[in-house]
Amino acid sequence: MSGLELPQGRTFDRWRAPYAADPALSRGRLVPEPVSPTRSEFQRDRDRIVHATAFRRLKHKTQVFVYHEGDHYRTRLTHTIEVAQIARSLARALGLDEDLAEALALSHDLGHTPFGHTGEDALEACLATHGGFDHNAQALRIVTALEQRYAGFDGLNLSWETLEGLVKHNGPLVGPDGRPTARYARHGVPKAILDYDARHPLWLDSHASAEAQVAAIADDIAYDAHDIDDGLRAGLFDLADLRKVPFLDELLGEIDKAWPGLERGRAIHELGRRVITRFVEDVIRESGRRLAALQPADADAVRRAGHPVIAFSPALEAADKAIKAFLFPNMYRHASVVAIRKEADRVVRDLFARFVADPSLLPSEWQPGTADGDALALRVCDYIAGMTDRFALQEHRRLFDDTPELR
């Protein structure tokens, strides 16, 4: 496809809006590398993420249910793939860089622990006196230090735009005065982020690119759709229960009208498709309206807007909140899920306490180089956070006599 000629001799593809992140204008990488003759900077980032060890581990990390609860429930990997598909669809419709949006979607969960949010909560408690645990900061550590695949540097040496989006896809980390935003009011901005920012500033006081915002909202859409699907298939609630949510009641009414008496399995799939479609189309309309009002001349104008440009309309934002309000007691806090969460929490806490008490139990490559309390706690955290569900259970069986079955 021919390009659109712009001043200074630059050429945008016709589908890329002026406010899209432009790989040709990337702020670069911490360690300079030659330009690829076949891929853009953001394509290279995406490819490096897909080939990372941490990405493969997502296959055996819990989304809501533990990995052996059933082959058809989402894992972190299948969730990530669904987020990437939605992010690409949104980016394409809005004239954004699809490769950057996809790279951010594929990397957004790299820092998650085994056993879903249960593992994250357990590590947060274990690290309460060491700065706490944050999965975004852990993802940054993975892609800037812990992955060791290249001869010339630690991490993946991703572009500034991908690292910025990874850290800030949920919004600024500090305000104009440099004080942490509400999300980080308790522990402050994680040290891992501040340390990297000191070497390669990520503009922590601004919003991220529109592509990063797309990845973040795609995550919300995917969560809503597939947690409804998984919850229904697990028998935690039924289709009739979903009618308590007006948005879902409307969609179920449409399905009943179009296909009276439709079998349950097909109705579940039809509902999931309609949830995703309604949210995606709403985001495109609302974001298009915001972008038209802002008229950003470039990607930095999006960063400086002072508010998100990728968003739900007020009506669909309310629907999103209502779905999450339904899922919290009916799925995430369902008695059967809570029982598993309690045991998974014990596994993580046991492992952390044992490794801190006796670091010699760690594999040789994970042995800490210092006995400093914070350094040791961080090293143990890195090791546990990278575990899959089944490896965490395997390590627990190696070190303890009463490992739970998590069923």
**pLDDT, position 64:** 67
What mean pLDDT is predicted for residues 219-235?
93
**pLDDT, position 71:** 55
Single pTM value for the model: 0.92
Confidence check: pLDDT of 12 > 80: no
Choose among 314, 317, 308: nearest CA to 290: 308
Share of the chain above pLDDT 90, in %: 83
Beta bridge partners of 12: 4
Ranges of each domain in the chain: 47-97+105-134+213-407
Distance CA 344, CA 389 (A): 9
**pLDDT, position 371:** 66
Confidence check: pLDDT of 201 > 70: yes
What mean pLDDT is predicted for residues 372-394?
93
What mean pLDDT is predicted for residues 53-81?
78
Distance CA 221, CA 272 (A): 10
Confidence check: pLDDT of 317 > 50: yes
What mean pLDDT is predicted for residues 379-387?
96
4: three-class secondary structure by DSSP: strand
Confidence check: pLDDT of 271 > 50: yes
| pLDDT level of residue 75 (50, 70, 90 thresholds) | confident
Residue predicted with more confidence, 75 or 297: 297
Residue predicted with more confidence, 8 or 296: 296
* pLDDT (tens digit per residue) in 118-144: 999 999 999 999 989 999 999 999 999
Residue 174 corresponds to which tokens in the numbers above?
A: 């500090």
What mean pLDDT is predicted for residues 6-31?
76
Contacts of 243 (CB under 8 A, 6+ apart): 249, 252
Do residues 159 and 29 make contact, with C-beta atoms less than 8 angstroms apart?
Answer: yes
Distance CA 288, CA 284 (A): 6
The per-residue DSSP string of 154-179 comes to SS---BHHHHHHHHHTTS-SB-TTS-
Confidence check: pLDDT of 298 > 70: yes
| pLDDT level of residue 8 (50, 70, 90 thresholds) | very low
Confidence check: pLDDT of 294 > 80: yes
The per-residue DSSP string of 12-43 comes to EETTS-TTS--GGG---BSS--PPPSSS-HHH
Contacts of 151 (CB under 8 A, 6+ apart): none
Indicate the CATH number of 47-97+105-134+213-407 among 1.10.3210.10, 1.10.3720.10, 2.40.110.10, 3.40.50.2300. Answer: 1.10.3210.10
**pLDDT, position 367:** 85
**pLDDT, position 69:** 54
Cα–Cα–Cα angle for 157, 159, 160, rounded to 5 degrees: 115
| pLDDT level of residue 70 (50, 70, 90 thresholds) | low
What mean pLDDT is predicted for residues 230-247?
94
